[in-house]
Structure 1
């Protein structure tokens, strides 16, 4: 029997949805009121527009969801259209490997046949339109929204229905402006349960503003140039936690031959480590496809001679190799909730991937008290440095 908190009653029926990664006693829910509102609006359009209904009944029609992190938009639509048995009809485009895993998991527990399950597309991969319907959960960053709208535009046609949704507290006026600038005339719905819709009409003749340049900045003391694609943490300058961490990487130690940059972002830690150890193999890991791509760009721009590998994955969940040194500046936000669950998973998996002499070095905000969870996992935990905001820890067995 489904947990009450996992029971999603949508305009297209009832479904069981679970947040991914699966965690006991999680406070997070796999959907929000914005998902409910977007699906209700789509259902209303289907009920009142014979033309739209007929188009979606055509086997060549396609539906796209964007930033659908747990399948709350994709699963109900795919299920309701299952009788058409059209593979690839519903596409799910997102920047997180967790979104891919969540989509597969939730399609499975809702017994959606593999042949009609939503097709996942990574954010760095091209879309496969044109799309008749697009449902978009607005992302946390304006830079990611702009990237997505620019990539989406060539895959729309004059009758495409675009429905964007989000919680009111996160929908700034600049979001509506981006839709007007990049898609066409836009209006918003009334708020319901603290959620709102953004409803643009595609204008194929729209004169688009100039595409913003890719963000790059330099660390003069190394020297290193870093590339930040959209959705990468510390979009316009290196975050102060990483900057504080750079003096305590320990990559120059003689026994270190393999280094993991876990949660790599733009690759700052791994690239800095490569400057200290020219012989080490450097592996970069991040849940974000755009982050991994940023790290690849950064390595290329800095002519890194070390052997490098890049992995889009959930922590180290698909990795079999071990490292002599793992560097990590863990995130402490999941969705819009502050917590240490992600950090604990990163530390736990790091422990399983260290060599006998291996060590984990991390930086974290002082108030997060990472030493408590580190001491539950490792025999030896020490503070390498600290200031009023951050602490650098070394953990090993």
Structure 2
């Protein structure tokens, strides 16, 4: 079928990177008859990366589509594509939860790379959708595993696997078991105590590192005592919010803003702040970079930048976040960044932010401080 050809937004991968891929096309081809037969208001689309599935379903006649996209940038790409195609009246964006799935008879899912994310979403679908719901999920084979089938079978009676096409495959699940699914909902968020850093981490499915402390963040935490004294700080790309909670715990006078474009990360950061009793001083916002901050308003920004965009290795997101920090920092304000040393970000930090010095380095990571010009 003719899938949306709008560009990914923001375009932080290769120029011309389209919103749809082979897995989206296969899913819509496999699900076309089911979509066409689904009554208005009973179709749900989950984790549609940039809107191709939702707009493709709308082109097949679907109306009253309920949509949840983890990334705020994905929501904006869908909105832009819908505006261009005259489909803005076909869908409503909702948070991940019971309202999203209530009474749904068909769910389209772009398979996450995280098995935890799949477990959380599948549990919600089986618990709150119509008992006769059909879940049709697609992904790239290189990111799929047999464990995904096992996860689906914990809350569905049957999982059928399609033939492969263009290195993609579809899993179709039927026979929802609501009681079994509801028993899994208490698993979220998962929590873990880390006595070595004196913090508890809370994580919803799919958030980076889950309840673990990734080694880059751990190295940054080891150097927090070297930070300048400020009244406010920003944890940019906060993930589970571990850095934000560590900052607030270490300085009872500090107020911290934690920012991430992922809804799962934002929910996790809220839960982590609550678990560490610092919710009164940690504000968590879902946003693209530091768009909610005025120019020249941030005293201190901390960042452990991702080097993947969806499944693709990319340093473009890091540079986007460097530019956001540069814009938002006060003159003389600092960006503290931890990064894999082989990525050699220092020249980019010097160019985008300002004078950059090495704070610490181990066999894998570098921590730098960049002072805004």
TM-score, normalising length from structure 1? 0.86
Name the residue aligned to 1:309: 283
Q: How does 1:179-190 map to 2 (within 5 A)?
A: 179-190=152-163
- Aligned counterpart for 2:327 among listed residues 352, 358, 366: 352
Higher Rg of the two aligned structures: 1
Contact 1:232 1:290 in 2 (8 A): yes
Unpaired segments ≥5 residues, structure 1? 1-9, 47-51
Residue 77 of structure 1 pairs with residue 57 of structure 2? yes
CA drift at 1:347: 0.6
Contact 1:183 1:206 in 2 (8 A): no
The 1-side partners of 2:270 and 2:370 are apart by 28
Which moved further from structure 2: 317-326 or 144-153? 317-326
Name the residue aligned to 1:64: 44
- Aligned counterpart for 2:147 among listed residues 154, 170, 174: 174
CA shift in 2, pair 1:124/1:292, >3 Å = farther
Name the residue aligned to 1:121: 94
Residue 15 of structure 1 pairs with residue 1 of structure 2? no
Name the residue aligned to 1:29: 18
CA shift in 2, pair 1:313/1:281, >3 Å = same
The 2-side partners of 1:213 and 1:42 are apart by 30
Deviations 1:341-385 (A, max 9, x none): 110011100111112231000000011111121111133111001
Deviations 1:233-279 (A, max 9, x none): 1124201111111132357634x111000011111111221233221
Name the residue aligned to 2:113: 140
Which moved further from structure 2: 165-174 or 315-324? 315-324
SS class of match (1:107): helix
The 2-side partners of 1:123 and 1:363 are apart by 31
SS class of match (1:345): helix
Unpaired segments ≥5 residues, structure 2? none
Name the residue aligned to 2:304: 329
Which moved further from structure 2: 20-29 or 355-364? 20-29
Contact 2:3 2:25 in 1 (8 A): no
The 2-side partners of 1:80 and 1:364 are apart by 44
Residue 192 of structure 1 pairs with residue 168 of structure 2? no
CA shift in 2, pair 1:385/1:151, >3 Å = same
The 2-side partners of 1:251 and 1:297 are apart by 27
Name the residue aligned to 1:39: 28
Name the residue aligned to 1:275: 249
TM-score, normalising length from structure 2? 0.91
Deviations 1:287-320 (A, max 9, x none): 1112111111111121127622110111112333
SS class of match (2:15): coil
